[in-house]
Amino acid sequence: MHGRRRLIKEDAETNPFFGKAPSKRSIEELLENGIVIVDKPSGPTSHQVTAWVKEILHIDKAGHGGTLDPNVTGVLPVALQNATKVIGLMHGAMKEYICVMRLHGEVSKKKLKETMKSFIGKIWQMPPKEAAVKRQLRQRHIYYLNIIEVDGKDVLFKVGCEGGTYIRVLCKDIGKKLGVGAHMEELRRTKSGMFDENEAVILQDLLDAYIFWKEDGYEKELRKYLRPMEDLLSHLPAIVIKDSAVDAICHGADLALPGVAQVDTGIKEGDIVVIKTLKGEAVAIAKALMTTRDIMEKDKGIAADIKRVLMKKGTYPPMWKKPR
């Protein structure tokens, strides 16, 4: 998806007795370190939907990525328990929407096509009054904008954009440029990062799957909806570390080069990266202090500055020397 390759800096093996591949986690472990991709219904706030997920799964903590307005439906990733530490990284992930825009006047199809095409690329937006962010011009990227159907004054289109793009504002701005005015009539989010609507679950199905598991020990359905936290981080480049470095990082140490086993291509200094074990478990979120090339070529130095530890201490045994 991102055209990254993984390079091997040093051959390293992982001890099968510690940690486990995300795909092998139990339901209990997924409830602690997982996410659910909810198909948000029209009506409730994103916050309310998240509260229902918490009730359904009997957990204490949940958080959603990328708020949808009450009347908007579609893909809403909800992080459970420990995974709430990384949900903020979803805000910047690419989003896709299907929208019905209502024009306030007649416009030729040719003019409509040309005008909408002019919004592809970098655009400036002023967040709407009701937005929870500071009202100042922000630049956002529109990756594609395709008209699906035009029915009178209603225009059905699909848009792929950077996180934090306001589609309501986009419709208004298109209407302004057309000279007739327009507003957003209906909106559905079809993708958020790597998640799309085919993977999203409606709350009723989530509840049924939970009851099946709780009462009958049948976990196949629930397992389909609970995904490992690592799926949330798949858009980030990774640095894979040796078992011997894991516990030190869980205790807050920065990542020194001798601990690195593998690294993704394309990492630039200052990039946000995910630190993973050889089994694919997320250990921490970090800021790269070196490029991929430096990490591969150098033997000494700090490769990444740890920003947030995700793994519980003691998951892997300590193999580092504690200062005396």
Indicate which residues carry an active-site annotation. 69
Q: Which are the contacts of 257, defined by CB distance < 8 A and separation ≥ 6?
A: 295, 298, 299, 300, 301, 302, 303
206 burial class (0-12, 13-18, 19+ CB within 10 angstroms)?
Answer: buried
- What is the C-alpha to C-alpha distance for residues 70 and 45, in angstroms, rounded to an integer? 4
53 closest CA partner among 26, 78, 27: 78
Q: Contact 257/300 with Cβ under 8 angstroms?
A: yes
Return the DSSP state at 323: P
CA angle (255 as vertex; 275, 63 as ends), nearest 5: 40
Give the Cα separation of 109 and 150 in Å (integer). Answer: 8
Residues linked to residue 226 through DSSP beta bridges, in sequence order:
36
3 state DSSP class of 288: strand
Task: List Cα–Cα distances, 39 to 43, 73, 101, 200, 307, in angstroms.
Answer: 12, 7, 22, 5, 31
Beta bridge partners of 98: 158, 188
Which H or E element spans position 28? helix 27-32
Tokens 């995974």 correspond to: 83
Cβ atoms of 141 and 120 closer than 8 Å: no
Residue 67 has which token pair?
Answer: 């708020």
